[in-house]
Amino acid sequence: MKKVLLSVLMLSSVIALAQEETKVVDSVKTSKSYKLETYIGFTGNVNDGMNLNKKLKNANLPELNSFVPEVHFGLNLFMEKYSGDIEFGFLFAKPNEGNNEMKYRGFNTRLRVHYNVVNQEKFAFTTGLGLAFLGNQYDIYSKDNTIDLNDLEPNNNSGHVSFTNQMLYFGPSASVYLFKKSSMQIRVNVGYEFALTRGRYRSEFGSILNNVGESGNNRFVFGITLL
């Protein structure tokens, strides 16, 4: 009887130990099933069909270049079959023409959801869809404008135009992950984004006449990110 009891206890111990080892293995596998990282990088936005530029050209004012640089940062999630990221970007440009100058600032929020077509130890290729929201601020002013602090009556001071617009984009995107095992991982993104909203211009300082929209003015984006 003692031998049977001893055998049962030993068998129970072995089973319990095996279960604990299985839990540890499963825990390790689970912890390595995804990778969450912060990143920073550079994006180029290409849009050569802005309706606003036509208005600026007719007025001999500085036009916004078709290529606008963007510095971005975000959070990247990479799993076995799927990956995605959310990023925030800042755009800036300062074109000038003659005695006039424009200061352009943009804030971009982008979300991507991808399927991992190729997922190897040091390389990955993913593709899917991206959604982006862009808010723009435009300030056009004369570089020789004089402000008299003794006469701050708005009607007596001119030489500055300020307006904004917002755009929502949606389209296909693809990413290539390089040097996945190194301390300096690189992700290259490309995408084509369709303009979904009208993007008409507004101003906090008055109403806008002869307004235009930017619907249909899609853009090509590409970026390099350090993970």
- What is the share, in percent, of the chain residues with pLDDT greater than 70? 86
Residue 82 in this model has a pLDDT that exceeds 50: yes
pLDDT value of residue 152: 83
What pLDDT is attached to residue 11? 43
Which of these ranges, 4-8, 66-70, 109-113, 134-138, has the smallest mean pLDDT?
4-8
| Per-residue pLDDT at 6 | 43
Minimum mean pLDDT range among 30-39, 45-54, 89-98, 144-153: 30-39
In this predicted structure, what is the pLDDT of residue 49? 86
Kindly report, residue by residue over 182-193, the tens digit of the pLDDT: 888 999 999 999
Confidence of residue 128 (pLDDT cuts 50, 70, 90): very high
Residue ranges of the domains in the chain? Answer: 1-32, 35-226
Place of tokens 């984006």: 221
Within a 13 Å sphere around the CA of 158, how many CA atoms are in the beta-carbon half? Answer: 2
Please check whether residue 132 is in contact with residue 168, taking contact to mean a CB–CB distance below 8 angstroms.
Answer: yes
Average pLDDT value for residue range 49-70 = 92
Query: Residue 148's pLDDT band (boundaries 50, 70, 90)?
Result: confident
Q: What pTM, to 2 d.p., does this model score?
A: 0.80
More confident residue, 4 or 160: 160
Contact 49/65 with Cβ under 8 angstroms? no
CA distance 150 to 138: 27
Structure confidence at residue 32 (pLDDT): 59
pLDDT at 210 (0 to 100): 92
- The CATH number of the structural domain formed by 35-226 is 2.40.160.20
pLDDT(30) > 50: no
Which is nearest to 165 in space by CA: 207, 192, 124, 201?
201
Residue predicted with more confidence, 122 or 9: 122
